[in-house]
Amino acid sequence: MRFYTESLGLSQNAFILLRDLIHERLGLFYDNSKQDLLSDKLSPLVVARGFDSFLDYYYLLKYDEDAAAEWRRVMDVLSVQETYFWREIDQVRALVEVIVPRYFAEHSTTPLRIWSTACATGEEPLTIAMMLNEAGWLARAPIEIYASDASPAAIAKAQAGIYRERSFRSLPQALRDRYFTVIRRPTNPEFESAQWQVVPWLHAAIRWDVINLVSESDMRRVAPVNVIFCRNVFIYFSDNAIRRSVHLFAQRLLPPGCLFVGASESLLRIASDFDLQDIGGAFVYVKRS
């Protein structure tokens, strides 16, 4: 397989066609310095289809009646699944300690809806659920948690709810022991990792779906929400793709809805529908009324 993928060769013309098509459909943008990276990621899919050129694969993605299924495979190989529990926890703490109490002070019976977009294998929404439960909110208030990713493979792993040690590198051990059960202990810890499964009742608090953040039809499947987490995603998007996604977020957010992005991301040049505020020590983009 490796020989065939190396022999394909991604020409500059084919690279530009594929890059622009991927940008249009998925929001991900590969500049000229990432031509080899895109080639490495897509080559196995090209070979699996029996093609001997990237140009054939481009025509499949753009025109073939089987393109929808193939796009799901493309998203699987292009998605970056680097995540872990308790990541950038200050933002989740601001949600639990400030936004949630403020909301239920005014809406005692109306559900608060939280959407973790681009959730990868599920560590972020589970972190949100754990912290809400630690504060007693899951038991005493109507809270709905939605989680999505554009990668079907990532959502399948999230739905399985099984994690290895790497996902727990920031999670306090007491919380790991409370919310996870060991299902496999390594016989050789030097070469193997334990496997942990999230407790069923916490996992059931989250509704999982496959959603492309630049697809308006996909985004409409999520009910209007009060809080959106979209963290460490826009670093892979162009400015135009970010504008498209943020505009769709604004349509799904009930004012004064809150949008959390990654610590290294900024929407100041892009998000005309939002104001940047400091809430509970975390920066939050708040939808204008």
pLDDT in tens, 237-271: 999 999 999 999 999 999 899 999 998 899 988 86
pLDDT tens-digit map of 167-181: 999 999 999 999 999
Q: What is the number of other CB atoms lying within 10 angstroms of the CB of residue 37?
A: 11
The whole-angstrom separation of Cα 26 and Cα 8 is 24
Instruction: Report the topology of domain 2-78.
Output: Chemotaxis Receptor Methyltransferase Cher; domain 1 (1.10.155)
Helices 67-78, 12-26: axis angle to 10 degrees equals 100
Q: Work out the average pLDDT over 101-123.
A: 95
Backbone phi, then psi, for 275, in 5-degree steps? Answer: -115, 140
Pairing assessment for the beta strands 253-261 and 282-287 based on DSSP bridges = antiparallel
Residue 283, pLDDT > 80, answer yes
Which homologous superfamily does the CATH classification assign to the domain defined by 89-287? Vaccinia Virus protein VP39 (3.40.50.150)
Q: What pLDDT, on a 0 to 100 scale, did the predictor assign at position 265? A: 92
Q: What pLDDT, on a 0 to 100 scale, did the predictor assign at position 190? A: 67
Q: What pLDDT, on a 0 to 100 scale, did the predictor assign at position 271? A: 67
Q: Work out the average pLDDT over 51-62.
A: 94
Backbone phi, then psi, for 201, in 5-degree steps? Answer: -65, -35
Work out the pLDDT band at 273, boundaries 50, 70, 90.
Answer: confident
Task: Tell whether omega for the bond before 256 is within 30 degrees of 0, i.e. cis.
Answer: yes
Q: What is the mean pLDDT of the chain?
A: 92
The whole-angstrom separation of Cα 11 and Cα 53 is 9
Q: What pLDDT, on a 0 to 100 scale, did the predictor assign at position 3? A: 40
Residue 27, pLDDT > 60, answer yes
The whole-angstrom separation of Cα 91 and Cα 124 is 11
Residue 9, pLDDT > 80, answer no
Q: Amino acid letter at 262?
A: G
Residue 216, pLDDT > 60, answer yes
Q: Number of C-alpha atoms within 13 angstroms, CB side, residue 226?
A: 16
Q: What is the DSSP letter of 10?
A: -
Where are the chain's structural domains? Answer: 2-78, 89-287
Residue 46, pLDDT > 90, answer yes
pLDDT over 70, % of the chain: 96
- Residue, of 42 and 108, whose pLDDT is higher: 42
Q: What pLDDT, on a 0 to 100 scale, did the predictor assign at position 191? A: 66
Q: What pLDDT, on a 0 to 100 scale, did the predictor assign at position 117? A: 95
In 3-state terms, what secondary structure has residue 169? coil
Q: Work out the average pLDDT over 217-221.
A: 92
Q: What pLDDT, on a 0 to 100 scale, did the predictor assign at position 70? A: 95
Residue 1, pLDDT > 60, answer no
The whole-angstrom separation of Cα 123 and Cα 86 is 8
Question: What is the token pair recorded at 6?
Answer: 């190396």
Q: What pLDDT, on a 0 to 100 scale, did the predictor assign at position 2? A: 43
pLDDT tens-digit map of 220-238: 998 899 999 999 999 999 9
